[in-house]
Amino acid sequence: MDPLEKLISCLCRLPGLGRRSAERVAVRLARDQGSILNDLVSALNDVKARIRCCSLCGNVTTVDADPCRLCSNPGRESSLLCVVEEPDDIVRIERSGGFRGRYHALMGKISPMKGRGPDDVRIKALLERIDKERFAEVILALSTDVEGDTTAGFIVEMLKGKNVKISRLALGLPSGSGIAYSDPVTLAKAIERRTVDR
Amino acid sequence: MDPLEKLISCLCRLPGLGRRSAERVAVRLARDQGSILNDLVSALNDVKARIRCCSLCGNVTTVDADPCRLCSNPGRESSLLCVVEEPDDIVRIERSGGFRGRYHALMGKISPMKGRGPDDVRIKALLERIDKERFAEVILALSTDVEGDTTAGFIVEMLKGKNVKISRLALGLPSGSGIAYSDPVTLAKAIERRTVDR
């Protein structure tokens, strides 16, 4: 295969890159050979050599820090577990400052349409952790789409009979947005779950 | 620097990738070490070894094909030259099927705001080609923004006195769009340059 075509199809497998943006990136890399192409190859090799996923929560960490700094930090609330889909969800939640407990990344979500079942995500490891680490509450911070709901429903089912509180993220209007930009489902939820000022 | 942070800032330098999408890509690469990371490194190394820019038009080509297949194809109209900003513009114009002449990629556009002058793009090489290859018409297929207009204006100025026709791409409504999605400048141009049916 043509090297450029090979690079384009490789870039297409990355999240958020469609065919057209992959083409644009590939051609830029090809034309700026000297600098950015070399930097990228070196950065990728560094990640390959030094970055791993935490064996506990799945977050990205360095080879010499497993469990990661979030899992091994004694200052964090150890009774709360936040279940997310991907490691970068952890980065986003950390940036929000809204959570100070433990994490568990599933590395995906259940998707019958794409042939991904419960065994293709880290649900077994989640159940083992819940048994062992005795969390008081498990927060399911999953996507609010069909696949996220399916995954959440499956986890709720598996946790039946266990003495643990289960919660999900609130649905509502995003901050800085308005009714004009809202879809009907979100809007109905935002009204139903309205908060009372006084 | 942290290897992941290094990869993110490297990805941020690619066109179309902001900080958030770069983070998402980097974390995905870090978590899927085995497969996609290796494939990407190998694809990048192949591009580095085998892909070059055509010394004539600037299009991406393989090391063993310089001038590229567009420059060396005798079946193409050799009296028409299409001037574009980037090599991937050539790919897009080729896909449109609307042009069968020669190309010249400037590798950017003049941007006083970003400190890029005429010497930072391939205008000198363009003028040399125009003198040597004796095109009948030069089509300036540049962006319809301030920088594109500045670049086009500069080229028109440099070609004064030379016996060559200069044209630009038509401004108007995009296909499959409508007035509702059009900005005032485009709309005014589309009315001014309206085409007559009969």
Q: Tell me the per-residue pLDDT of B23-35, one tens digit each, with 9 for 90 and over.
A: 999 999 998 877 8
Query: How confident is the model at residue A198, as a pLDDT?
Result: 65
Closest CA in chain A for residue B29 = A14
Closest CA in chain B for residue A18 = B16
Q: Note the helical H segments in chain B.
A: 3-11, 19-31, 38-50, 87-96, 123-133, 146-158, 184-192
As a whole number, mean pLDDT of residues B120-146 equals 93
Q: ∠ CA B20-A7-B3 to the nearest 5 degrees?
A: 45
User: Bridge-partner residues for B53, per DSSP?
Assistant: B60
Residue type, B7: L
Query: How confident is the model at residue A151, as a pLDDT?
Result: 95
**Residue A88 to residue B23, Cβ atoms within 8 A:** yes
Residue A150 confidence class, pLDDT cut points 50, 70, 90:
very high
pLDDT(A21) > 70? yes
Percent of chain A with pLDDT over 70: 98
Tokens representing A52 are 């791993």
Average pLDDT, chain B: 89
As a whole number, mean pLDDT of residues A99-114 equals 93
Task: Identify whether the C-beta of residue A167 lies closer than 8 Å to the C-beta of residue A142.
Answer: no
- Residue whose C-alpha is closest to residue A141's, from A120, A168, A163, A114: A168
Query: How confident is the model at residue A2, as a pLDDT?
Result: 86
**Using N-to-C axis directions, what is the helix angle for B38-50 and A19-31, rounded to 10°?**
50
Higher pLDDT, A174 or A64: A64
**Residue A36 to residue B10, Cβ atoms within 8 A:** yes
Residue type, B58: G
Query: How confident is the model at residue B169, as a pLDDT?
Result: 85
Residue A196 confidence class, pLDDT cut points 50, 70, 90:
confident
**Residue A47 to residue B7, Cβ atoms within 8 A:** yes
Query: How confident is the model at residue B2, as a pLDDT?
Result: 86
Query: How confident is the model at residue A193, as a pLDDT?
Result: 77
As a whole number, mean pLDDT of residues B149-165 equals 93
- Beginning with the edge strand found earlier in the chain, give each strand of the sheet holding A102-105 in spatial order: A102-105, A80-84, A137-140, A165-168
A100-125 as b/e, with b when 16 or more CB fall inside 10 Å? ebbbbbbbebbbeeeeeebeebbbeb
**Residue B16 to residue A11, Cβ atoms within 8 A:** no
Residue A172 confidence class, pLDDT cut points 50, 70, 90:
confident
pLDDT(A169) > 80? yes
Query: How confident is the model at residue B198, as a pLDDT?
Result: 65
Percent of chain B with pLDDT over 70: 98
pLDDT(A102) > 70? yes
pLDDT(B177) > 80? no
Residues in chain A within 8 Å Cβ distance of B64? none
CA distance B100 to B76: 6
pLDDT(B143) > 90? no
Average pLDDT, chain A: 89
